[in-house]
Amino acid sequence: MTLGRRAWQAVEPLHGFIYFVPEAQERFEALGLGYGAGYFASRSAAFGTASAETVIATFFNFNPAFVRESMTGVWDKVTPEQVLKARLEAADAALRRGLGDLIDGDAVKETAALTRKAAEAACERLEGRPLFAAHAALPWPTQPHLQLFHAQTLLREFRGDGHIAALVTAELTGLEALVVHAATGYLAAKVLRGSRKWSEEQWAEAVAGLQERKIVERGEELTLTEEGRAMRQRVEDLTDRLAEPAYGALGEDGVDRLAEVGKPLSDAVIEAGLLPYLKKK
């Protein structure tokens, strides 16, 4: 397993929770932003007043019609600075709930230092990473748990930009990438289709196209063909390789230590219910 994948698996929940916790939704609603607008605006606000087209390009797998509808009038209601402030406040509140007494402990400080070192190394490779680069220009918070959140946000977007490059290289559209993901069995097709607002007809058309390419097959359940599994593995391998510039700064020992001190923090936020679709393993 590559350094990047090991680190990602250990500490990804320390960023991913922000898309699910009520602390975020409550703050976005207070700014007049519904669910879709809050998500798209908060994640794209690092660009400034991002257009719907910028969101479509950099978020990749959402129905463009949903993005355009959600982003209509957003920047007439709020400024990017207001949204970024609300997001950081939500992260603060949610992490305090999820980590409890751990929040002031040495594990948070050490995990923050390790992830920051990796994130700062990634900043030497901005090219081709638009969403990462936008977040990399934001100021670092001062509190360790928020430094950890910010560092992991940077690393999430660094990996994500690379993942999009890998998917484009595989000649997959955003919707087709979701179908392939569903065919792995990790998340249900209904969940992926519904959360990204694709219609049943659009989904069925994408499935048919991937069947023609012999990437998926449909029996009782949607599954990957042998070629589909090989393609998926190529995408994942390339994604991992593209993430290596960040974690190479830590080396094997540093990533081992990151997993050792960071994984219990991830487990704590999962146990606290900050990521409702995950259960502690």
Does 194 or 1 have the greater pLDDT score?
A: 194
| C-alpha–C-alpha distance, residues 57 and 53, integer Å | 6
Strand intervals (E) in 158-277: 216-218, 222-224
- Over residues 4-45, the pLDDT tens digits come to 888 888 999 999 999 999 999 999 999 999 999 999 999 999
Banded pLDDT at 281 (limits 50, 70, 90): very low
> What is the band of 134 on the pLDDT scale with cuts at 50, 70, 90?
very high
- Cα(208)–Cα(120) distance, integer angstroms: 43
CB 21, CB 274: distance < 8 Å: yes
Report the chain's mean pLDDT, rounded to a whole number.
95
* Residue 216 DSSP symbol: E
Q: Which residue has the tokens 């994130």?
A: 119
222-225 long-range contacts, CB within 8 A, separation 24+: 222/179, 222/182, 222/183, 222/189, 223/183, 223/185, 224/180, 224/183, 224/184
Q: Using one digit for the tens of pLDDT, what is the confidence trace for 146-179?
A: 999 999 999 999 999 999 999 999 999 999 999 9
Please report the DSSP string for 116-154 in residue order: HHHHHHHTT--TT-HHHHHHHTSPPPSSHHHHHHHHHHH
Q: In the prediction, which pLDDT does 220 show? A: 78
Whether the CB-CB separation of 238 and 169 falls below 8 Å is answered with: yes
Residue type, 72: T
Contact 248, 3 (CB under 8 A): yes
Contacts 24+ apart (CB under 8 A), 247-254: 247/2, 247/3, 247/4, 247/7, 247/118, 247/121, 248/3, 248/121, 249/117, 249/118, 249/120, 249/121, 250/3, 250/7, 250/114, 250/117, 250/118, 251/3, 252/3, 254/114, 254/117
pLDDT tier at 187, thresholds 50, 70, 90: confident
d(CA 92, CA 80): 18
